A = this chain, B = another copy of it.
């Protein structure tokens, strides 16, 4: 029987990243493609103990729970956000299945087909997928190394009257870039003036390579809350990068009224996320020094980034360019314009290394000569080999381009 799907299925791309992960699974390939944290750094023992305490204490952990999520965990997250300059209450927040679900639910309650959403280019692939699935009109705001360009943002706000601005302003996925404080203030001010909601997606913000928090600008949410009046920033974060992705626990915080509507949408979507995981996280945070753990993994990730950066700075790579990220999980490598990284990828996989071609992170007019390299998942001793394999693939690619 011919199944007549909804129109949205025509706008539902698969994730290139996950497709690449599938090809590479089980093979002897060093993958710099996934956005995965390092398994060997997970606080596995502390997590195991946290589950054990939850599951010995009370059978209500196994019962249905609140759609909004386990209240004591929301209170802990609210306290952490307060320390980070974002005073929100547990009632201005719901817990979600990772921050991916936060993005999805916000789009679900905000977007009718054809509504405009402003994004950076490049930006988080799975956000583009969600926007596509709601048939949003995706419009790009031009950026430089310091963030969105205020003049272009204002032009886009005036021209398109968007519903939403989506951004990853800190240690961006895929570029690793971080907006300056000034640009943040300008973007928040402009969105307030035009009455446009901002979704600040901040999964990487705590993976900071500089140990002084003063080295980094405040979040858009902190700037927004600091201005008083109705907030315009909705903020999403996750434990996936700072604890473990398997816990599938993210959160979304915003105006109380909006959060209530999000909760209704979540109720329809899945009633609630795993209570067991949420309670285990709550138990973990009671006894485990998460802040020290974040410093530990950030140091290790910084050292891996530096190693990758050093390898990419060798003679062979003089035509490539990149900026060292100040945190997060990704390095964005630009190659000479004639190199199309999507065509390079099959050769690289043959050589035993994988990356994500930059073009998948664009809704339009993609840059074809860039790639996203993840430096957190691969063991450091393998990074030199990974770069060597990439070099071999590049040589083969360039030989192909020579006239026969």
Contacts and interface: CB of A to CB of B under 8 A. Distances in A.
Interface in A127-178: 129-130, 133, 163
A273 interface: yes
Interface in A238-258: 240, 244-248, 255, 257-258
Contacts of A261: 5, 9, 12
Contact of A62 (B67, B247, B273): B247
Given A5-B110, A126-B271, A55 B48 contact: yes
Contacts of A8: 108-109, 112
Interface stretch (A37-45, A206-214, A353-361, A388-396): A37-45
Contacts of A13: 264
A294 to B, nearest CB: 16
A47 interface: yes
A84 interface: no
A6 to B, nearest CB: 5
Interface stretch (A98-106, A303-311, A342-350): A98-106
A313 interface: no
Contacts of A34: 64
A321 interface: no
A352 interface: no
A35 B1 CA distance: 35
A56 B44 CA distance: 8
Interface string A1-42: 111111111001111001000000000000000101101101
Interface of A: 1-9, 12-15, 18, 34, 36-37, 39-40, 42, 44, 47-48, 51-52, 55-56, 59-65, 67, 96-98, 100-101, 104, 108-112, 115, 126, 129-130, 133, 163, 192, 195, 197, 230, 232, 240, 244-248, 255, 257-258, 261, 264-265, 267-277
